Amino acid sequence: MPLLTNDSDQDWERFARTEPYFAVLTEPQYRGELSELDRAEFFRTGEQHVSEMLSIIRSRLHPDFAPARALDFGCGVGRLLIPLAARCRGVTGVDVSPAMLDEARRNCEAASVSNVRLILGDDKLSAIEGEFDFVHSYIVLQHIPVRRGERLVRELAGRLAPDGVGVFHVTYSRPHASSLRRLLYWARTRLPAAHWALNITRGRPARTPIMQVNRYSVTRLLDILSSEGCPEVHVRFTNHDGYRGVLLFARKEATPGL
């Protein structure tokens, strides 16, 4: 059933204008203006994530992996762009929110990073040129309605260069949510009045958006990756506050069509 209360793109612009860091990592210390320490910790998590992704790729899929061109889809404020820029010749950051991109630009400048391009995304990735050795998307697709997200995964996998690696993170279930929680989420994402009423009872402006978390079919994604020329996929499970997910590490064939 379509979501009535959510246009995820508009919601993200709104999150970006109000709480960009908290919208990326929903932990209380990232609300509002960040202290020096919290800012450093925020970016340290990005460094750790990138280092972990590359180490998994090298140990499981591609021992010599050393990407020159990287694309981070849903780059937010640049948490992962800065560590990618330290390891790659050029990095492209894509986001649907202009305010996120502005913040990412400020963060790249502050870190003296000059090999990052920032691009406003659309569903066809129409402003993105060329191929990439590394295409990455983390804690992004879950916030995009599933059919749209699947088309984006196809587009992103299509931008992988021969022998390149894509990392796609999605959520697929939330098994231990109570029935009441499920009912409230269902109502809030389909019935605007229910969503507004709940916001008001929680002391928030009525139209504060809900951050949607969608459940993907891993099988359908594997089919997409296979049809986009990725014969090999490594899977890692994730769990964020009870939302179960997977990181799909897909290696593109070295010689297309073989």
* Nearest-angstrom CA–CA distance, 221 and 144: 14
User: What sign does the CA torsion over 20, 25, 26, 32 have?
Assistant: negative
Regarding 62 and contact with ligand SAM (CB under 6 A), the answer is: no
Which of 220, 93, 231 lies closest to 146 in space, CA to CA? 220
Regarding 172 and contact with ligand SAM (CB under 6 A), the answer is: no
Regarding 143 and contact with ligand SAM (CB under 6 A), the answer is: yes
Provide the minimum distance between the beta carbon of 96 and ligand SAM in the complex, in angstroms, as a whole number.
Answer: 4
Cα–Cα distances in angstroms (integers) from residue 58 to residues 48, 66, 93, 195, in the given order: 15, 9, 23, 45
Helical (H) or strand (E) element with 61: none
Provide the minimum distance between the beta carbon of 194 and ligand SAM in the complex, in angstroms, as a whole number.
Answer: 23
Regarding 79 and contact with ligand SAM (CB under 6 A), the answer is: yes
Regarding 8 and contact with ligand SAM (CB under 6 A), the answer is: yes
- Of 96, 118, 160, 167, the one binding ligand SAM by CB under 6 A: 96
Provide the minimum distance between the beta carbon of 42 and ligand SAM in the complex, in angstroms, as a whole number.
Answer: 9
Regarding 140 and contact with ligand SAM (CB under 6 A), the answer is: yes
Regarding 95 and contact with ligand SAM (CB under 6 A), the answer is: yes
Burial class for 196, CB neighbours closer than 10 Å (0-12, 13-18, 19+) = middle
Residues 6+ apart with CB under 8 A from 179: none
Regarding 74 and contact with ligand SAM (CB under 6 A), the answer is: yes
Comparison of 118 and 139: residue with beta carbon closer to ligand SAM: 139
Helices then strands, each counted (H, E), the chain: 9, 7
Comparison of 21 and 193: residue with beta carbon closer to ligand SAM: 21
- Of 6, 50, 62, 76, the one binding ligand SAM by CB under 6 A: 76
- Of 134, 138, 216, 249, the one binding ligand SAM by CB under 6 A: 138
Whether 137 contacts 168, CB under 8 Å: yes
- Of 5, 97, 171, 189, the one binding ligand SAM by CB under 6 A: 97
Comparison of 79 and 188: residue with beta carbon closer to ligand SAM: 79
- Of 100, 118, 221, 230, the one binding ligand SAM by CB under 6 A: 100
Residue listed under structure tokens 């379509």: 2
Count CB atoms within 10 A of the CB of residue 50: 25
The interface region with ligand SAM, picked from 58-66, 88-96, 155-163, 173-181 by CB under 6 A, is 88-96
β-pairing, 90-95 with 132-137?
unpaired
Phi/psi at 162 (nearest 5 deg)? Answer: -50, 135
Residues within the interface to ligand SAM (CB under 6 A) = 8-9, 12, 24, 74-76, 79-80, 94-97, 100, 121, 138-140, 143-144
